[in-house]
Chains A and B, each alone.
Chain A
């Protein structure tokens, strides 16, 4: 079977695009009964995905147009009421803005910074062992749960005995000391900063893998043309992995709209609702305020944003690709 196309190289969503375009059935062979029986291979996985991933998604649309109390089971249709309330809810807008801020800052650190960092490691560090060591060390925080890193940074940001205030004191910037998570003007940025600390190594590792796949001859040609190793980063490496860069931007933004764990652990949305993101506001509206219809409407907003990004990703990865 040689169904492999360039779409195979375009990641999971590239494959979706490929499958959707070709459509229809696979190659036909064998007797019909045999073929249907062969479905047993895919049915367990398919059934689980349909029941636990797709079905709830469909139900969620219905719930978003309902007044729903999951504890009493009350369910009544209210039309667009949840959505009009959402439009007039300042915390909803605040959450959305925080998600956008999250996405913007994450793109800077986990895409652009990580890209340059990966290129610098791969070109400037001569020893292969040191390159591997640096990539692994930077990745380490990504192996830890967001609860652990979130709690760790809550301690780091603490006014009493916290590492950050301690460092500011040690370098003579003690006037900057504050309760980082207790102050509504710094709390959101403090959480986002933690997330960058945790996440930059993950994308650096992926960029490094992409860079290693660039053929050496291209660098040799650049050297012969008199381009130094540092300039090669900007004239060879970065242009040649721009597809990966685009992919990482989309994946990073999509992740930023699904933020939940770190905010729950570090502030639960406080102080004064200043650190709510869509995920935590959904949780609070539903599971704390028992307003599940409204929470379902927030879920629809998350769905629309992440689906839009996924569609951009599918279109992006199915374009003509650089092949070497």
Chain B
């Protein structure tokens, strides 16, 4: 916006009081309007995204009557007791279950995938390309498709309705993605360090743990973060393979809570907030790794 010299032509008066020229300043004017519209739209979208989330947090501080009356009103006296009631009504147990299942599946998925990625990039193994295709090809299969046979299989193996059902499924269905992610990072690492260590007499396992894994730290963090997000929020398997109330994870537990606690909406809002906040915090703490994992996962 440099057109501030003209004095002749009439046009729209500008904020600085000078009169714009017809050609250059009209363009600057429309440019300004365009930018204002764009910024307005971006800010409007921020409000559309943020307001419902704030509304959820505020709802947890209201009374049941307040929730059912004016949706815009703030709570007359903010009341944190809904969190205690939510925890008593099961959210505490669901939270612990989610931590257990998420934690175990993160450990297994990352380890098995890193091993597989190492085997596929650093070690000469028979049928390596076929194995690669089979593992990564698992990504093509929708979890929904496997659900009914899995009920029968997990029942037969005696792990239906246990933590193990979810831990094993969350691992098996995420190994394809995670292996892909770690493999594509490992393949770019120089193998000269490996070879030097090998000549010095280090075993494969020592090289893996002492050299390769530390070098892969950035992508391992991405893998861990994405696995946490997946396992914490997963619903389909959690609904079907766990029925016992005391074993339910947050997504299924919250759905149960909302259908039972119809007279205590603040507790439901509190439960939702308890489930959402850890992932929001995780996202802000590890944004860089999130973005990297998501971007590499879909195609570089």
Q: Are A57 and B35 in contact (CB under 8 A)?
A: no
Q: Let me know if A156 is at the binding interface, CB within 8 A.
A: yes
Interface string of A91-113 (1 = CB under 8 A from B): 00000000000000000000000
Contact of A4 among B34, B144, B188 (CB under 8 A): B188
Q: Are A48 and B175 in contact (CB under 8 A)?
A: yes
Q: Given A4-B188, A124-B38, are A134 and B46 neighbors across the interface (CB < 8 Å)? A: yes
Q: How would you classify the secondary structure of chain B's contact residues: helix, strand, loop or mixed?
A: helix
A130–B287 CA distance with the chains assembled, in angstroms: 15
Q: Which segment, of A17-25, A183-191, A215-223, faces chain B?
A: A17-25
Q: Let me know if A261 is at the binding interface, CB within 8 A.
A: yes
Interface string of B245-274 (1 = CB under 8 A from A): 000001110110010000001001100100
A157–B71 CA distance with the chains assembled, in angstroms: 11
Q: Are B299 and A10 in contact (CB under 8 A)?
A: yes
Q: Given A121-B42, A151-B268, A279-B144, are A35 and B258 neighbors across the interface (CB < 8 Å)? A: no
Residues of A within 8 A of B131 (CB): 42, 46
Contact of A148 among B155, B252, B272 (CB under 8 A): B272
Q: Are B176 and A258 in contact (CB under 8 A)?
A: no
Q: Let me know if A224 is at the binding interface, CB within 8 A.
A: no
Q: Let me know if B147 is at the binding interface, CB within 8 A.
A: yes
Q: Are B139 and A161 in contact (CB under 8 A)?
A: no
Q: Are B68 and A299 in contact (CB under 8 A)?
A: no
Q: Let me know if A14 is at the binding interface, CB within 8 A.
A: yes
Q: How would you classify the secondary structure of chain A's contact residues: helix, strand, loop or mixed?
A: helix
CB proximity of B69 to chain A, nearest CB, Å = 6
Q: Are B135 and A155 in contact (CB under 8 A)?
A: no
Nearest-CB residue, chain B, relative to A260: B236
Total residues of chain A contacting the partner, CB 8 A: 116
Contact of A35 among B125, B132, B235 (CB under 8 A): B125
Q: Are B142 and A303 in contact (CB under 8 A)?
A: yes
Residues of A within 8 A of B252 (CB): 147
Residues of A within 8 A of B70 (CB): 161, 166
Q: Let me know if A264 is at the binding interface, CB within 8 A.
A: yes
Q: Given A25-B127, A38-B119, A151-B272, are A14 and B142 neighbors across the interface (CB < 8 Å)? A: no
Q: Are A147 and B148 in contact (CB under 8 A)?
A: no
Q: Are B139 and A137 in contact (CB under 8 A)?
A: no
CB proximity of B248 to chain A, nearest CB, Å = 11
Q: Given A124-B38, A147-B252, are A51 and B124 neighbors across the interface (CB < 8 Å)? A: no
Contact of A52 among B146, B188, B279, B295 (CB under 8 A): B146
Q: Given A16-B133, A146-B233, A160-B68, are A151 and B239 neighbors across the interface (CB < 8 Å)? A: no
Q: Given A30-B124, A38-B124, A143-B229, are A3 and B48 neighbors across the interface (CB < 8 Å)? A: no
A144–B48 CA distance with the chains assembled, in angstroms: 16
Q: Are A201 and B133 in contact (CB under 8 A)?
A: no
Q: Are B42 and A145 in contact (CB under 8 A)?
A: no
Nearest-CB residue, chain A, relative to B55: A163
Q: Are A261 and B116 in contact (CB under 8 A)?
A: no
Of residues 289 through 312 on chain A, the ones whose CB sits less than 8 Å from some CB of chain B are: 292, 295-296, 299-300, 302-303, 306-307, 310
Contact of A310 among B140, B149, B272, B284 (CB under 8 A): B140
Q: Let me know if A86 is at the binding interface, CB within 8 A.
A: no
Of residues 42 through 68 on chain A, the ones whose CB sits less than 8 Å from some CB of chain B are: 42, 44-46, 48-57, 59-60, 63, 68
Q: Let me know if A205 is at the binding interface, CB within 8 A.
A: yes
Residues of B within 8 A of A (CB): 34-35, 38-39, 42, 45-46, 48-50, 52-53, 55-56, 59, 67-72, 112-113, 115-116, 118-153, 155, 168-169, 171-173, 175-177, 179-180, 184, 187-188, 191, 204, 229, 232-233, 235-236, 239-240, 250-252, 254-255, 258, 265, 268-269, 272, 275-276, 279-280, 282-284, 287, 291, 294-295, 297-300
**Given A25-B127, A138-B49, list of 13 further CB < 8 A pairs?**
A8-B300, A12-B139, A24-B130, A41-B125, A42-B119, A44-B116, A56-B147, A145-B232, A161-B67, A166-B71, A258-B144, A302-B142, A302-B145
Residues of A within 8 A of B (CB): 1, 3-4, 8-16, 19-20, 22-30, 35-36, 38-42, 44-46, 48-57, 59-60, 63, 68, 70, 117, 120-121, 124-125, 134, 136-141, 143-148, 151-156, 160-163, 165-166, 170, 197, 201-202, 205-206, 209-210, 230, 243-244, 247-248, 251, 254, 257-258, 260-261, 264-265, 278-279, 282-283, 286-287, 292, 295-296, 299-300, 302-303, 306-307, 310, 317
Q: List 20 A-B contacts (CB under 8 A).
A: A10-B300, A19-B129, A25-B126, A26-B126, A28-B124, A39-B125, A40-B119, A48-B172, A52-B146, A52-B173, A54-B141, A63-B148, A138-B49, A141-B53, A144-B276, A145-B232, A146-B251, A166-B71, A205-B294, A286-B148
